[in-house]
Structure 1
Amino acid sequence: MSGDMKGQTWNQHVVKKENKTLVLQTIKEKAPISRASIAQVTGLNKGTVSSLVSELIDEDFIHESGTGESSGGRRPVMLLLNEKAGFTISVDLGVNKILGVMTDISGNRIMEKEINVDDNSVYNVSDDLFSLIDHLKEQAPSSRYGIIGIGVAVPGVVTTEGEILLAPNLGWKKVQLKDMLYERYKLPIIVENEANAGAYGEFIYGAGQNSKELIYISASIGIGVGLILDGKLYKGLRGFSGEFGHMTIEKDGLACRCGNRGCWELYASENALLEASEQHGLKNHSITDLVTKAEMRDTNALKVFEQIGDYLGVGITNIIHIFNPEQVIIGGSLAEGIPLLLPSIKKRIKQNAIGFNLDDVHLNEANLNKYSVVLGITAFNIENFFRSTVKEVSNGV
């Protein structure tokens, strides 16, 4: 075969792969949908759509289900994503607990398991992590593609290659978690920063579905920030974006585990809330206890939420000045106290923001609650699966 013919064949192959991915994505987003409607939405001709749909049915990505409304002729056959073609395992690896969730390829939660963590050493946590993943993996229903991917979110600096460079609140440095997981499971592995995952979870499945400029603040033991800019997750050059928890808001402030001083998370996190509550004579209380006390108009509890909300507002104002977002979503354990924190957050923004109208940005609590992070990881797993598997099937692999 001549070089020209090889090139032509290759180009046709690439175009077919892209068209197939487009058809599948259209079905995912708009199901139930007919072949004719797919042709209309994608701009592909009906013959191409019909051929690609047949392949996708043979490969168990989609299936036919009933008939739709007729517009005068024969009622069209409707197409749906085969949600049970495979399953994902997604994990939110926190400082005090690990949450693991199994979902189908539409992101529906099938099963979950949560374990508490007392010892944050890499050895102990990896043992707990493997045990949790093993449990979920063993419970997976039989399917054409099995477990399509495993993803783990970590509160730390994660490179685009999945190495955890630094996770201060876990006490981890240079942990090759992605390699460790791949060595054990030999499946597609994703390791991501938990705030990035939380931002993506809310963007795909939660409060941020209608926003293209979105800031997600994960306020728990520490603070992480995930950025959705122009409808895409922003990760920076090597994946280190969003480390706003370690921006300095007190230049000669408290010493942080990251090595700096005066970091935002020392003044506006769950730890900061609990420390402030002790300073106000409210000892050995959880966030839930403090919320209850504040709702009962306990003066000291109200002062604590006002103080932490004010510090949250300082950081959020800085972020607003940099990104001019449409929406700021607050997740993590502090989200439980959002109604109590919002007044002082808004007061600080109004006081400090330059040339800014508070009505320009929506401040919201995360819709997905404790699932923001794991469902972000789920979305990464699913996208990776469709991207790689449709490519492989189209290659005839």
Structure 2
Amino acid sequence: MKITGDQQLIKKMNKTLVLDTIRQRQPLSRADIAATLGLNKATVSSLVSELIESQLVTEIGPGESSGGRKPTLLLFNRGAGYAIGIDIRVNDLFALLVDLEGNVIRERTVPLEDSSPDHAIDQIRKMIHWLSKKAPESPYGIVGIGIGVPGLVDEKSRIVSAPNLGWNNVAVQNLLASEFGENIHIDNEANAGAIGEKLYGAGRDAANLIYISIGVGIGSGMIVGGELYRGISNFSGEVGHMTVSENGPLCRCGNRGCWETLASEKALLDRAAQRWKDSSAASDEEGLDRLLNLARAGDPDALSLLEETGKHLGVGLANLVNILNPELIVIGNRLSMAGDLLQEPMLHTLESRSLSYHMKKTQVAFAELGIRSTALGAASMPITSFLADPDVTSQKTQP
């Protein structure tokens, strides 16, 4: 005899499958859903009616007839609610408001002159309130918030260490939950960037990819079999601390010759400062823009600096290709803006140093989402959590 609880669980699982099918294959009819999932038409019709009642699905009119009555087509209601994604960076905060399909509604960047946790969290609160007020009217309002952080985030969403911010053991989720609800997700910025590119960018068709985030440091997010690989302690992806030069520059981690001491944005600007005797180049947040403008104008020193950085990137990428044999590598964060200048030396070094059989099917691309990868990936996390419970009721959670 079936237990009622089991029946309710099966119904909930089927409802989730129906909603996911509509999201992925829209527009489609009830009959299309039944054929796709192998469910009977009566069950599908009942579940669709509930999804329409909860305003997650809408009917848009008749489709093509296959001989009988024209079927009514269904669409996922992407405007049923909105989410906020925030990218905490060393010099600023970047945030955006998206609908339930990840379409950007509004975005904003504010400087982070004081990177202390108290000040940064106060700025995050202000960003959330500002973006919430810009959200269009909807049944569910703001369904949740996702935040990407340049550091280690444990299984409980505590920021264990973010050296470039000077943070240790900061419970951002707990500090925000009382004001903005429980659907708040904190993750490493490269993990969020990997998810963003997988869902909305260069990795849409790849089941196995490595997203390389290159800013002040270098981190990575790895998608394996369509799922984010986190490691035993949730700390996977610190590829910036892979040793690529035994006696190389001293790294902030205490080791020498880490990849990020040679191939990061900071490493590039440090070399530029040494070459041009410009002490502000390493700290000036506009330094990369100035360097790229000079390179594109043909400045030989700027071109030489970027060529050197491209070669250093290629060395690290070759290690990753030889070890992981990925389907796709996506280069993201701020240094992706230099893609056209880095690509040739980077790929030449990669191809000359990687094993030919490993490299044969590996593609390398620059982030399609640009500097939005992390914020969009972060915003997708509360959306996924929200839609995982198809029994939600239309009650606003907007701050």
Same fold (TM over 0.5): yes
- Structure 1 residue 169 and structure 2 residue 164: aligned? yes
**Residue among 206, 224, 231 paired with 1:236:** 231
Q: Identity over aligned residues, as a percent?
A: 43
TM-score by length of 2: 0.93
CA distance, structure 2, for counterparts of residue 376 and residue 317 of structure 1: 26
1:189 aligned residue: 184
Q: Which amino acid in 1 is paired with 2:64?
A: E
The 1:282–1:336 alpha-carbon spacing in structure 2 relative to 1, beyond 3 Å, is farther
1:307 aligned residue: 308
2:396 aligned residue: none
1:18 aligned residue: 13
CA apart distance, 1:392 = 5.5
CA apart distance, 1:251 = 3.0
1:135 aligned residue: 130
CA apart distance, 1:355 = 4.1
Q: Which amino acid in 2 is paired with 1:304?
A: L
2:65 aligned residue: 70
The 5 Å alignment of 1:1-397 reads 8-281=3-276, 283=278, 284=281, 286-356=287-357, 358-387=359-388, 389-390=389-390
What does the per-residue CA deviation read over 1:126-151, in whole Å, with 9 as the maximum and x for residues that have no partner? 11111111211233233222211111
CA apart distance, 1:13 = 1.2
2:397 aligned residue: none
Over 6 Å off, 4+ runs: none
CA distance, structure 1, for counterparts of residue 186 and residue 309 of structure 2: 31
Q: What value does the CA root-mean-square deviation take over the aligned residues? A: 1.6
CA apart distance, 1:67 = 1.2
Provide the secondary structure at the position in 1 that maps to 2:74. Answer: strand
Is the contact made by 2:54 and 2:392 (CA closer than 8 Å) also made in structure 1? no
Unaligned runs of 5+ in 1: none
The worse-fitting range, judged by mean Cα deviation, of 315-324 and 277-286 is: 277-286
Is the contact made by 2:325 and 2:359 (CA closer than 8 Å) also made in structure 1? no
CA distance, structure 2, for counterparts of residue 358 and residue 320 of structure 1: 7
Unaligned runs of 5+ in 2: 394-399
TM-score by length of 1: 0.93
What does the per-residue CA deviation read over 1:90-122, in whole Å, with 9 as the maximum and x for residues that have no partner? 101111111111111111111112101112111
Is the contact made by 2:85 and 2:145 (CA closer than 8 Å) also made in structure 1? yes
Is the contact made by 1:202 and 1:376 (CA closer than 8 Å) also made in structure 2? yes
CA distance, structure 2, for counterparts of residue 227 and residue 86 of structure 1: 29
Q: Which amino acid in 2 is paired with 1:200?
A: I
Is the contact made by 1:148 and 1:187 (CA closer than 8 Å) also made in structure 2? no
Aligned residues: 387
CA apart distance, 1:262 = 2.5
CA apart distance, 1:357 = 5.7
What does the per-residue CA deviation read over 1:49-100, in whole Å, with 9 as the maximum and x for residues that have no partner? 0010001111111010111111111111110111121110110111111111
